Structure 1
Amino acid sequence: VQTEWAVTIGRNTQAAFKQRYALFAESQQAPNPRLSLAGAQDKIPVIWRDETFYLPQGTAPSSHIVKFAVDGRDHVIFNELYLNTLAALVDIDCPSTSVRYAGRYPLLVVERYDRAWVNGSLQRIHQEDLCQAMGMSRTQKYQEYGGPTLADCFHLLRDVCKPPAQSLQQLLRWQIFNVLVGNSDGHAKNVSLLQDAKGKWRIAPAYDLIGTVVLGYDSRLAFSIGYQNNAMQLLSRDWKLLAEQQSQLSYPFIKREIKRLRELLLRFADSKEMQQALKDAGLPDNAWLRLQQQRHHIVKQCKKAALW
């Protein structure tokens, strides 16, 4: 399966590879850069400054990641922009995201959260995704393939994040958000930890937020809630199991977080604030209608959440 998937991605991204080089001016002196980053979407690290993309050379850190539309599926780009923007509006820490174009092709430009400006110089912040932090292979990023469970993730945060409360709360909100928006691809490599200069760890901002259910990808949750991995069939008993067996957080606390998030999502999903934020981020005028299926899914899930 992995071999077939790799071949399919390779064939579908031929156009994207051509787009890559169209972004940068040719240079006879620059060495051939390492362009690929891990993941299903074709993406490259760049330095983005004054609306211009530059390839980092040598050990220079990149400032942003550019994601390409795969096989003309530009709605994936717009969907991620929508959900990243929505996450920020409902107080989930999320990197700044915008859309730019290479010719007629949309590009998603995501600010790197593992960077910091120190004395006028861009510096890397050490990060590890949860597979790395748990000593697991990247092939184990999904729970159903032998990867960590939500219980393992909560346990790790309690062990390494001191104090852990904020990181635990963000992990919970991230999973609730995934359930409500239909992001079934929130796996262990899509959660990371950041280490500051004093050696302290905290959970990183949310990233790779995509409405996979609406876009027609596998709808099974990467992390189950209790024993349920179908977000459309969740019941209150599943959240009770999350409280009692997976998170060691109280069920009343989880219910309050669900209520808070569902109310914020219903408020912002179709709001003027959302439409203006998307416009400011570069969403073309004709793309808003293409996001309505995603919005309808969120509204439907939020109505179900009232019973949890």
Structure 2
Amino acid sequence: MVLIDGAIAVPRVGEASTHLIKPEPDRFPGLAANEAFCLALARALGLDAAMAAWHEADGKPYLLVTRYDRLHRDAQTIRLHQEDFAQALGVPSNRKYASEGGPTFRDGFALVRQATTRPAREVLKLADAALFNVIIGNADAHAKNYSLLRRADGEVVLAPLYDLVATHIWPELSAKLAMRFGRAATLEDVDAESFERFAADAGLGLPFLRRRAAALAARVQEVIAEGVTVPGLQDGDCLDELPAIVLDRAARFTLKARV
């Protein structure tokens, strides 16, 4: 979609869109608010994440996401090239899950080291993204939820995070991780020993990773305690107990990271 004077419109043929609309499925009430909160939390932590706002039309919630693969210059919208990890690794979309033969974290970190302009910086961004997804309880972070972005100056970076959802809120959704965190196959399997294997997959030192994980989880607790501003929502509308649940998860994750 495109925004014209604040109004949502369909782009003309050949015109670059600027926003995405994600209607909330009837099957998962609260999904739009959940994702809006998780993205806002990530940005409040200083992580690079897509901008999104919660809206409602005729009683139907939806998420309005600002496209990060666009550049606005001289009243024109220019498309920037991006490839998700599955595309970049030549893996078909029906194999986006590691359990189905898709990319693993080891594959993702190797790709970032090979393809990005400043690998040392981007590897840390990917590690933070993986840690954040575990903290919030997002089991569905698969290879198509991480992307590479080529900026206008030619620099290749890890794209801003998107599709951040605390999936564990819905019991009917699988707790099986789209990509194992170390040896952990599910969210609840993540324990102190998981960090050793994940550190090896990421090519990072274990003590360094533990400190970074503990610091990120502690920061999550601080930010939630201070209050997270979610675009489109006021006073926690539609969020129910999500902030408190993520707060508890972050506290338990801190203990695991420090062992």
Shift in alpha-carbon separation, 1:284–1:161, aligned structure 2, 3 A: same
Pair 1:115 & 2:70 matched: yes
State the Cα deviation string for residues 52-76 of structure 1 (Å, max 9, x = none): 0010111101111111011264400
> 1:161 offset after TM fit, Å?
0.8
Q: State the partner residue of 1:231.
A: 187
Q: State the partner residue of 2:133.
A: 178
> 1:271 offset after TM fit, Å?
2.4
Shift in alpha-carbon separation, 1:262–1:286, aligned structure 2, 3 A: closer
> 1:285 offset after TM fit, Å?
4.8
Q: Alignment identity in percent?
A: 29
Shift in alpha-carbon separation, 1:286–1:157, aligned structure 2, 3 A: closer
Most deviating of 143-152 and 208-217: 208-217
Q: State the partner residue of 1:295.
A: 244
Larger RCO: Structure 1 or Structure 2 (Cα < 8 Å, ≥ 6 residues apart)?
A: 2
Distance 2:246 2:53 in 1: 23
Most deviating of 229-238 and 290-299: 290-299
Most deviating of 86-95 and 224-233: 224-233
Distance 2:176 2:251 in 1: 18
Number of aligned residue pairs: give it.
Answer: 256
Q: State the partner residue of 2:143.
A: 188
Distance 2:177 2:243 in 1: 17
Q: State the partner residue of 2:199.
A: 243
After superposition, where does 1:102-141 map in structure 2 within 5 Å? 102-141=57-96
Tell me if the contact between 1:48 and 1:64 (Cα under 8 Å) persists in the aligned partners: yes
Q: Secondary structure at the match of 2:256?
A: coil
Tell me if the contact between 2:214 and 2:253 (Cα under 8 Å) persists in the aligned partners: no
Distance 1:49 1:229 in 2: 45
> 1:106 offset after TM fit, Å?
1.6
Q: What is the TM-score normalised by the length of structure 2?
A: 0.93
Letter in 2 for 1:111: T
Tell me if the contact between 1:79 and 1:291 (Cα under 8 Å) persists in the aligned partners: no
State the Cα deviation string for residues 25-58 of structure 1 (Å, max 9, x = none): xxxxxxxxxxxxxxxxxxxxx1023330010111
Report the RMSD for the aligned CA atoms in angstroms.
1.7
Distance 1:153 1:286 in 2: 35
Q: State the partner residue of 1:57.
A: 12
The partner residue of 1:88 within 25, 38, 43 is 43
- Note the residue ranges of structure 1 that are not aligned, 5 or more in a row: 1-45
Letter in 1 for 2:119: P
> 1:186 offset after TM fit, Å?
0.5
Q: State the partner residue of 1:33.
A: none
Tell me if the contact between 1:182 and 1:298 (Cα under 8 Å) persists in the aligned partners: no
Q: What is the TM-score normalised by the length of structure 1?
A: 0.79
Shift in alpha-carbon separation, 1:221–1:59, aligned structure 2, 3 A: same
> 1:198 offset after TM fit, Å?
4.6
Tell me if the contact between 2:39 and 2:52 (Cα under 8 Å) persists in the aligned partners: yes
Q: State the partner residue of 1:159.
A: 114
Q: Secondary structure at the match of 2:204?
A: coil
Distance 2:254 2:102 in 1: 27
Shift in alpha-carbon separation, 1:291–1:146, aligned structure 2, 3 A: same
Tell me if the contact between 2:34 and 2:242 (Cα under 8 Å) persists in the aligned partners: no
Distance 1:304 1:197 in 2: 38
> 1:207 offset after TM fit, Å?
0.1
Tell me if the contact between 2:218 and 2:250 (Cα under 8 Å) persists in the aligned partners: no
Q: State the partner residue of 2:104.
A: 149
- Note the residue ranges of structure 2 that are not aligned, 5 or more in a row: none
Q: State the partner residue of 2:209.
A: 254
